[in-house]
């Protein structure tokens, strides 16, 4: 024998010695194989990063892409390994200890046939070995197979082990070991892992979502929600669009002031600079007149009534009345976002006034001092006996008004538009697709402030023929529903209630659960909305509720998992930012693919981070980082794999 150039021993006549030992693990479909031999290292299709330990991590104590979970000393030597300069030496001085070194975990092919090998060398009697480790989606090792060399070895020997990945496998790794009971010095180099067959890397058992027929769209860098089916092309497994419901919070206003009373109504919530204003009708006595009142808050939670001091009530002007005159019954102000609005018209309203109770325009410089813009009504075709609201649509550059109509005897909603707030288009009834016909008493339609190209509405659904509280005189009950639109005319409506009356009997009486018009962000992670409870009773109040930021609807999958595939799209941005939430065992993975559903290079599910946690804005990372700018302007689809997780919104951020 002569020494080879890599520190091993070479026969005068090259000879390969092979020994096979099969381990019967048929229940798991696993086979372990031991192979000793000498020869060149096959590196084609090797999945192991830094397999020969040539790259050192900062500090030089560990190779990159490898971890030492127990903190045992690893000697990264550079005095020539099996190939190259570096190799790993483990010096085990305690028979009660073992020393593992594990490769970075990789997305696995469930059902794939894996082979791992490592070159080993020892002059001692111990038996160093190599493991294949299989992990499930939460990182639990669900199976492993191993094989060992027999020391002392005749120079460098190759040890190989094989296994079929169990069906629940999501990740795989290779480990090299010195074992409990071994004492000595053990060298390792040139680790390999290969696979044939199996499912898509990291896909597990979730069926793959396939492209369908939706056309390509451009989303630029805007935020996109899942309140409608616009983005979704296909879903598999447990993936579904899930409606979320507001969480009940505290009562923010109890209507016990002399100018308020149990018949207050038609609330308008306006985030205004560093405060939130709520306008509403005050009506203490049905036999007397009503007023338009205001309450204000710095945080959207604690409200006070400013002493406006403009209108006298019962001999005093110390009240929060801002308008007392025509239109008070359903006066609904808004702050005008039109950049060309005159300074004395920064606030506007349309209110039902005049002999035919048509809609008349009002304006104000500050939201306190109001006047009619003109006496002639500007919209005349409608019922107008509910909350009639208007706003400036910043995306479409026009004023929009939504108001009540009756369509074939059913309470419904109509829409007009205007460029100048005076001249309005002919009314058009809203289109809800194949949703059943139901009485919609109010509409509360508003552009979503984080994605103003999407309109949200929270109508009060009126069920006139039901009565829950026998002693209550009036009939009919109400709940709140959610619908959304991208053009203001065609709406997708959830039939499932967004806001239920709940366990309080007095919320099962008429004119309750009216969701106020307008949304108020009360933190970075929550949005507040408000609704009525106990109408007609002395305890009548306005309650606050919260939803997660963007959290009206999510793409959701349970623990068995699911997949969603978007329609083809183009974008403009450097990173994919997602709003998501998982359980402790949940996760999401992301893939950017072409129009046919084939993964773009570097952006496959196998390259994606396994994301778990709860964040409003997270930059998705793949193996090479988060930069997706190479795909800007190219038609792509987004594939998302979810397990016990929710995805609320996406955005390609610049």
In this predicted structure, what is the pLDDT of residue 335? 98
Task: Using a cut of 0.75, tell me whether the model's pTM lies above it.
Answer: yes
Which residues does 326 contact at the CB level (< 8 Å), separation at least 6? 351, 353, 354, 360, 372
CB count in 10 Å sphere of residue 111: 15
105, 110, 115, 117 alpha-carbon torsion, rounded to 10°? 10
Q: Give residue-wise pLDDT tens across range 591-640.
A: 999 999 999 999 999 899 999 999 999 999 999 999 999 999 999 999 99
Residue 196 has pLDDT above 50, yes or no: yes
The band of 30, judged by pLDDT with boundaries at 50, 70 and 90, is very low
Beta-bridged to residue 247, according to DSSP, are 546
Residue 95's pLDDT is 86
What is the DSSP secondary structure assignment for residue 422, as one 8-state letter?
Answer: S
Q: How far is CA 298 from the centre of its chain?
A: 28
Q: Considering only 352-361, 472-481, 510-519, which range has the smallest mean pLDDT?
A: 352-361
Per the structure block, which two tokens stand in for 271?
């985030």
Residue with tokens 């083809």: 568
294 pLDDT above the threshold of 70: yes
Q: How many CB atoms lie within 10 A of CB 345?
A: 17
Please, which pLDDT band fits residue 20 given cuts at 50, 70 and 90?
very low
CATH number of 247-548: 2.115.10.20
pLDDT of residue 37: 37
Task: Please answer whether residues 231 and 210 qualify as being in contact, where contact means their C-beta atoms are separated by less than 8 angstroms.
Answer: no
Q: State pLDDT tens for residues 542-581.
A: 999 999 999 999 999 999 999 999 999 999 999 999 999 9
Output the six-digit token pair for 70.
């127990």
pLDDT of residue 367: 98
Q: Find out whether 7 and 84 touch, Cβ atoms under 8 Å.
A: no
* pLDDT above 80: residue 71: no
Q: Cis bond leading into 98, ω under 30°?
A: no
pLDDT of residue 9: 32
The residue assigned the tokens 């619908």 is: 483
Q: Using one digit for the tens of pLDDT, what is the confidence trace for 353-370?
A: 977 789 999 999 999 999
pLDDT at 466 over 50: yes
294 closest CA partner among 316, 322, 264, 318? 322
Contact 91, 178 (CB under 8 A): no
Question: pLDDT at residue 12 above 80?
Answer: no
> Residue for token digits 């959207």?
300
Task: State the pLDDT at residue 107.
Answer: 87
For the beta carbon of residue 419, count every other beta carbon within 10 angstroms. 12
Q: Kindly tell me if the per-residue pLDDT of 97 is higher than 50.
A: yes
Q: How confident is the model at residue 74 (pLDDT cuts 50, 70, 90)?
A: confident
Please report where in the chains the tokens 């090479």 appear, as a residue.
624
Q: Would you state the pLDDT for residue 204? A: 72
Give 617-623's long-range contacts (Cβ < 8 A, gap of 24+). Answer: 617/577, 617/578, 617/579, 618/577, 618/578, 618/579, 618/580, 619/575, 619/576, 619/577, 619/653, 620/575, 620/576, 620/577, 620/578, 620/590, 622/590
Superfamily (CATH H level) for 217-242+553-653: Galactose-binding domain-like (2.60.120.260)
Q: Give the span between the Cα atoms of 501 and 426, in whole angstroms.
A: 36
The per-residue pLDDT for 44 is 54
pLDDT digits (tens, 9 = 90+) for 204-231: 778 899 999 999 999 999 999 999 999 9
Provide CB contacts within 8 A for 646, sequence distance 6+.
242, 554, 555, 556, 580, 581, 582
* Average confidence (pLDDT) over 479-501: 99
**The two domains 2-196 and 217-242+553-653 share their CATH topology (first three levels equal):** yes
Q: Is residue 631 within 8 Å of 564, Cβ to Cβ? A: no
- 16, 153 in Cβ contact below 8 A? no
Give per-residue pLDDT as tens, 133-147.
Answer: 999 988 899 999 999
Taking the C-alpha atoms of 548, 554, 558 and 561 in order, what is their torsion angle to the nearest 10 degrees? -130
The residue-averaged pLDDT of 639-653 equals 98
More confident residue, 95 or 390: 390
Report residue 344 as tokens: 């004395």
State the pLDDT at residue 206: 86
Give domain limits for the chain: 2-196, 217-242+553-653, 247-548
Q: Is residue 156 over pLDDT 60?
A: yes
Query: Between β-strands 451-457 and 232-237, what pairing exists: parallel, antiparallel or unpaired?
Result: unpaired
CB atoms within 10 A of CB 139: 13
Query: What mean pLDDT, rounded, does the chain reach?
Result: 92
What backbone torsions phi and psi does residue 168 show, to the nearest 5 degrees?
Answer: -90, 10
Q: Are 368 and 322 in contact (CB under 8 A)?
A: yes
* Closest-CA residue to 150 (of 180, 181, 120): 120
Would you state the pLDDT for residue 266?
98
Q: CA 68 → CA 73, 101, 164, 275, distances in Å?
A: 8, 5, 25, 54
Question: Which superfamily is assigned to 2-196 in CATH?
Answer: Galactose-binding domain-like (2.60.120.260)
């Amino acid at each position: 024998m002569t020494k080879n150039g890599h520190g091993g021993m070479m026969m005068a006549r090259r000879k390969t010695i092979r020994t096979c030992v099969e381990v019967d693990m048929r229940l798991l479909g696993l086979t372990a194989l031991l192979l000793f031999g000498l020869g060149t290292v096959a590196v084609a299709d090797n999945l192991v990063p830094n397999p020969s330990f040539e790259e050192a991590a900062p500090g030089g104590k560990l190779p990159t892409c490898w971890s030492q979970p127990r903190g045992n000393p690893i000697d990264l030597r550079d005095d020539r390994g099996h190939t190259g300069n570096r190799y790993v030496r483990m010096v085990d001085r305690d028979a009660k200890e073992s020393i593992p070194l594990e490769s970075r975990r990789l997305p696995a092919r469930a059902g794939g046939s894996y082979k791992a090998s490592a070159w080993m060398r020892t002059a001692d009697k111990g038996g160093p070995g190599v493991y294949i480790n299989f992990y499930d989606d939460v990182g639990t090792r669900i199976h492993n197979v191993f094989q060992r060399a027999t020391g002392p070895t005749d120079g460098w020997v190759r040890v190989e082990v094989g296994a079929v990945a169990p069906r629940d496998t999501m990740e795989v790794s290779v480990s090299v070991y010195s074992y409990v009971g071994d004492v000595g010095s053990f060298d390792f180099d040139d680790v390999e892992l290969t696979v044939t067959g199996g499912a898509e890397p990291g896909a597990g058992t979730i069926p793959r979502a396939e492209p369908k027929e939706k056309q390509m769209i451009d989303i630029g860098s805007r935020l996109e929600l899942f309140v409608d089916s616009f983005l979704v092309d296909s879903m598999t497994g447990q993936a579904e669009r899930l409606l979320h419901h507001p969480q009940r919070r505290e009562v923010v206003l109890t209507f016990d002031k002399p100018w308020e009373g149990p018949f207050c109504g038609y609330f308008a919530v306006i985030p205004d600079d560093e405060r939130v204003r709520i306008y509403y009708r005050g009506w203490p006595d049905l036999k007397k007149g009503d007023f338009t009142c205001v309450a204000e808050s710095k945080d959207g939670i604690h409200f006070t009534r400013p002493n406006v001091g403009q209108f006298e009530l019962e001999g005093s002007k110390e009240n929060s009345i801002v308008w007392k005159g025509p239109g008070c019954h359903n006066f609904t102000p808004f702050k005008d976002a039109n950049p060309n609005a005159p300074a004395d018209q920064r606030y506007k309203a349309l209110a039902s006034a005049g002999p035919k109770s048509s809609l008349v325009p009002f304006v104000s410089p500050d939201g306190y001092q109001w006047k009619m813009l003109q006496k002639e009504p500007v919209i005349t075709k409608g019922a107008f006996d509910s909350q009639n609201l208007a706003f400036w649509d910043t995306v479409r550059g026009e004023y929009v008004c939504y108001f009540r109509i009756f369509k074939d005897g059913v309470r419904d909603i109509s829409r007009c538009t205007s460029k100048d707030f005076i001249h309005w288009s002919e009314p058009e009834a809203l289109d809800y697709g194949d949703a059943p016909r139901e009485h919609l008493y109010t509409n509360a339609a508003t552009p979503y402030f984080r994605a103003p190209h999407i309109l949200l509405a929270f109508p009060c659904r009126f069920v006139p023929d039901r009565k829950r509280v026998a002693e209550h005189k009036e009939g009919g009950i109400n709940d709140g529903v959610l619908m959304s639109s991208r053009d203001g005319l065609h709406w997708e409506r959830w039939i499932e209630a967004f806001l239920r009356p709940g366990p309080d009997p007095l919320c099962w009486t008429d004119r309750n659960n009216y969701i106020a018009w307008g949304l108020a962000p009360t933190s970075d992670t929550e949005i507040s909305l408000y609704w009525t409870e106990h109408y007609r009773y002395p305890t009548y109040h306005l309650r606050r509720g919260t939803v997660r930021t963007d959290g009206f609807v999510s793409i959701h999958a349970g623990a068995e998992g699911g997949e969603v595939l978007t329609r083809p799209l183009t974008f403009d941005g450097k990173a994919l930012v997602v709003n998501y939430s998982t359980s402790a065992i949940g996760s999401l993975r992301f893939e950017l693919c072409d129009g046919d559903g084939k993964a773009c290079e570097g952006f496959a599910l196998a390259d994606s981070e396994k994301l778990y946690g709860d964040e409003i804005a997270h930059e998705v990372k793949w193996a090479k980082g988060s930069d997706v700018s190479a795909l800007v302007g190219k038609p792509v689809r987004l594939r998302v794999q979810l397990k016990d997780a929710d995805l609320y919104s996406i955005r390609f951020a610049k």
